[in-house]
Amino acid sequence: MLPEKTIERLSQYRRLLLANKQKGKENIFSHEIAVQLHLTSVQVRRDIMLIGYSGTQRKGYNIDLLIEKISSILDDEKGLNSIIIGMGNLGKAISTYFYGKRNKIDIVAAFDIDIKKTGRLISGVWCYHTSDLETIIKEKQISLAILALAPEAAQDITDRIIFAGVKGILNFTSVPLNVLPNVYLENYDMVTSIEKVAYFVKENHLQNR
Amino acid sequence: MLPEKTIERLSQYRRLLLANKQKGKENIFSHEIAVQLHLTSVQVRRDIMLIGYSGTQRKGYNIDLLIEKISSILDDEKGLNSIIIGMGNLGKAISTYFYGKRNKIDIVAAFDIDIKKTGRLISGVWCYHTSDLETIIKEKQISLAILALAPEAAQDITDRIIFAGVKGILNFTSVPLNVLPNVYLENYDMVTSIEKVAYFVKENHLQNR
DNA sequence: ATAAAGTTGTTAAAATATTAACATTGTTTA
DNA sequence: TAAACAATGTTAATATTTTAACAACTTTAT
Ligand SMILES: NC(=O)c1ccc[n+]([C@@H]2O[C@H](COP(=O)([O-])OP(=O)(O)OC[C@H]3O[C@@H](n4cnc5c(N)ncnc54)[C@H](O)[C@@H]3O)[C@@H](O)[C@H]2O)c1
Ligand SMILES: NC(=O)c1ccc[n+]([C@@H]2O[C@H](COP(=O)([O-])OP(=O)(O)OC[C@H]3O[C@@H](n4cnc5c(N)ncnc54)[C@H](O)[C@@H]3O)[C@@H](O)[C@H]2O)c1
């Protein structure tokens, strides 16, 4: 299995490659990728080595083929269905953002407990009541869930979706979730992010004295 | 300077400690913190050692004092002013979320280029037109910016805010930004996050065969 | 033809982060 | 009073991630 950090970068390589392809470019050197993403060319080459793709010395990497190779690693062939739970400000922002983007990861349903939000389309995604959670997860073969709901309900809902078959969670609530060992959990904590930036801003000030 | 990962955890320890204080708890053991955050007690103790705080063998750590110690490290005494640039769906979600939370990191202004959004309060924060960017940054001594604007404008705006004095950036656009070496840049890429979860979900499936 | 330049692929080293080991210390209990 | 226990604090070992070094190859220039 590939290192976590390599996976993250592969996602970024692919986006960059698609942008370069758009501009009509056919081949790209490791140092070009590196400059555009602010990495080192060594790291780029090493990652590409790890996934078993090869370029040529004179032309670098063929953009189409590299995109294809990365996609064969990141994407599930048959696609992967996901849901958003919690259609508040953040949930809506996310579903609006993803709506219409063609992608192997489809957001096929949303859930909320607030009946003012349920039973209708919200930014292109049907919003169900959480009471339908288990039914829909099984029906639509959901394997990934994005949590953007009120923190109080996060663990409860997590237990339910895992029991219903969800295998990966992207958690935006600040709640440290308990999940079964075979469920992949990725947390993003915005407050921590900001506090970290603030800390390094402060430290930098100290350094410059 | 403390390791980046330790800083992230300190932010989480503090939140947890505040929650426990709320519940009337006065002391806490490293293993209690560990269980609640899904870490190991060793890691907790090591982090606390690194910041130079000590507990007692029988009672563990004094919650109030530890909060104070962590705060002395994370927070800037005189506070730190920040802005959000781009009051679209995500920007609004963020400012709504932070509004009213008493915090050493204050979001004191927002910016957008769309005149339908500027010149008024949006979720408690005044939204200026980007043409006022430099003026307000200097006037309000802004050192931290949250970028939630359209990707096309991200680098341009970044150059401007850095020139005006911003020292830390939390970047939600997927654009790999160019910043001066004395500016701390933290990127969060939601697409990468989701693709990573999807990858590990897929791999787990393979393992289980 | 041969050398020079420039690039990839890969192994080795260094840096960073986590985990384990254990000495130390205060408290309880026999 | 001393042994057992349960916790912290710290050093050492391990694991992961990044960076450096360099061999191998291809094209171009001399
Ligand atoms: N918006 C941000 O910038 C931000 C930052 C950090 C953390 N968060 C976290 O992300 C989550 C969402 O944030 P938000 O700003 O969108 O909050 P929000 O209050 O706007 O939305 C929360 C939504 O969750 C729904 N909900 C509540 N209980 C539910 C349940 N049991 N099942 C399904 N839905 C339920 C509510 O009806 C509401 O629509 C929260 O946990 C918040 O703490 C948000
Ligand atoms: N919403 C998400 O879930 C999500 C996920 C991944 C990435 N992002 C990125 O985050 C950013 C914001 O996303 P969003 O969903 O809020 O988009 P959005 O389109 O709703 O909002 C973008 C806002 O930026 C403003 N803007 C454009 N040019 C500007 C400029 N020069 N100065 C100031 N403001 C300007 C627009 O007027 C708009 O209000 C985008 O770059 C997007 O790619 C968002």
**Phi, psi of B66, deg, nearest 5:** -70, -40
Average pLDDT over residues A202-207: 75
**3-class state of residue A170 by DSSP:** strand
**Is A37 part of a structural domain of the chain?**
yes
Give yes or no: residues B84 and B187 share one domain: yes
The average confidence (pLDDT) of chain A is 95
Average pLDDT over residues B2-30: 97
- pLDDT of A204 strictly over 90: no
- pLDDT of A209 strictly over 50: no
Percentage of residues of chain B with pLDDT beyond 90: 90
pTM: predicted TM-score of the whole model, two decimal places? 0.96
Give yes or no: residues B68 and B95 share one domain: no
**Is B50 part of a structural domain of the chain?**
yes
Give yes or no: residues A119 and A173 share one domain: yes
- Say how many Å lie between the CA of residue A149 and the centre of ligand 1: 4
Ligand nearest, relative to CA of residue A96: 2
Give yes or no: residues A121 and A171 share one domain: yes
Residue B20 belongs to domain spanning: 4-72
Give yes or no: residues B84 and B179 share one domain: yes
Give yes or no: residues A15 and A63 share one domain: yes
Confirm or reject: Cβ of B93 under 6 Å from ligand 1: yes
Cβ of B46 near strand D (distance < 7 A): yes
The C1' atom of D26 and the CA atom of B58 lie apart, in whole Å, by 70
**CATH number, domain with residue B143:** 3.40.50.720
Give yes or no: residues B105 and B128 share one domain: yes
Average pLDDT over residues B24-46: 97
Give yes or no: residues A54 and A143 share one domain: no
**Is A196 part of a structural domain of the chain?**
no
Question: What is the DSSP code (8-state) at residue A130?
Answer: G
- pLDDT for the residue numbered A104: 83
Give yes or no: residues A62 and A86 share one domain: no
**Phi, psi of A6, deg, nearest 5:** -65, -40
**Is B154 part of a structural domain of the chain?**
yes
**CATH number, domain with residue B24:** 1.10.10.10
- pLDDT of A148 strictly over 90: yes
Dihedral angle computed from the Cα positions of residues A127, A130, A135 and A140, in that order, rounded to the nearest 10 degrees: 40
Give burial (CB, 10 Å; 0-12/13-18/19+) of B55.
middle
Q: Counting atoms of ligand 2 from 1, which one is nearest the CA of B190?
A: 6
The average confidence (pLDDT) of chain B is 95
Of all residues in chain B, the one with the smallest CA distance to A8 is B192
Last residue of a domain, one of B34, B55, B72: B72
- pLDDT of B58 strictly over 90: no
Confidence band of B105 (pLDDT split at 50, 70, 90)? confident
Cβ <8 Å between B196 and A96: no
**Cα A23 from Cα A8, distance rounded (Å):** 24
**Is A203 part of a structural domain of the chain?**
no
Cβ of A33 near strand C (distance < 7 A): no
Average pLDDT over residues B45-72: 96
Identify the bridge partners of residue A112 per DSSP, sorted by sequence position. Answer: A129
- pLDDT for the residue numbered B209: 36
DSSP strand E in A26-162: where? Answer: 27-28, 61-62, 80-85, 105-112, 120-122, 125-129, 142-147
Q: How far is CA A76 from the centre of its chain?
A: 14
Last residue of a domain, one of B55, B72, B89: B72
- pLDDT for the residue numbered B207: 60
- pLDDT for the residue numbered A207: 59
Average pLDDT over residues A183-194: 97
Among B4, B80, B191, whose Cβ lies nearest the Cβ of A198?
B80
- pLDDT for the residue numbered A102: 73
Give yes or no: residues A40 and A88 share one domain: no
- Say how many Å lie between the CA of residue B91 and the centre of ligand 2: 7
**Is A205 part of a structural domain of the chain?**
no
**3-class state of residue B143 by DSSP:** strand
- pLDDT for the residue numbered B62: 97
Among A73, A170, A193, whose Cβ lies nearest the Cβ of B194?
A170
The C1' atom of C8 and the CA atom of B189 lie apart, in whole Å, by 29
Is residue A109 a contact partner of residue A136, using CB atoms and an 8 Å limit? yes
**Is A137 part of a structural domain of the chain?**
yes
A91-127 confidence digits (pLDDT tens):
999 999 999 887 788 899 999 999 999 999 999 999 9
- pLDDT of A171 strictly over 60: yes
B173-186 confidence digits (pLDDT tens):
999 999 999 999 99
Give yes or no: residues A29 and A111 share one domain: no
CB atoms near residue A163 (< 10 Å)? 12
- pLDDT of A183 strictly over 60: yes
- pLDDT for the residue numbered B104: 83
**Is B197 part of a structural domain of the chain?**
no
Give burial (CB, 10 Å; 0-12/13-18/19+) of B42.
exposed
A19-40 confidence digits (pLDDT tens):
999 999 999 999 999 999 999 9
Give yes or no: residues B94 and B122 share one domain: yes
Strand C: list positions under 7 Å from protein Cβ.
6-11, 16-21, 24-28
Is residue B95 a contact partner of residue B123, using CB atoms and an 8 Å limit? yes
Domain count, chain A: 2
